[in-house]
A = this chain, B = another copy of it.
Amino acid sequence: MDGAAEGEGIETVARLRAYIEGSQLTVDSRLPPERELSRALGVSRAGLRQALAVLESEGQIWRHVGKGTFIGTRPIATVSDIDAMVRRTNPAEVMRTRLLIEPEVARMAALNATPAQIAEMRACMTRSRAAATWRQYESWDNRLHRTIAEATQNALLVSLLDTLGAVRRAVAWGRLRVNKVKPEPDHHSFAEHEEIVAAIAERDRERAAETMRRHLETVERKLLGERRGA
Contact = CB atoms under 8 A, between A and B. Distances in A.
A200 to B, nearest CB: 15
Q: How many copies does the complex hold?
A: 2
B157 A93 contact: yes
A165 interface: yes
A93 B159 contact: no
A228 interface: no
Contacts of A78: 79-80, 82, 159, 162-163, 166
A139 interface: yes
A108 B79 CA distance: 21
Given A100-B157, A160-B160, 17 more contacts: A27-B135, A73-B139, A76-B162, A77-B162, A78-B80, A78-B159, A78-B162, A79-B80, A79-B160, A88-B155, A89-B155, A89-B156, A93-B155, A100-B108, A101-B101, A101-B104, A163-B163
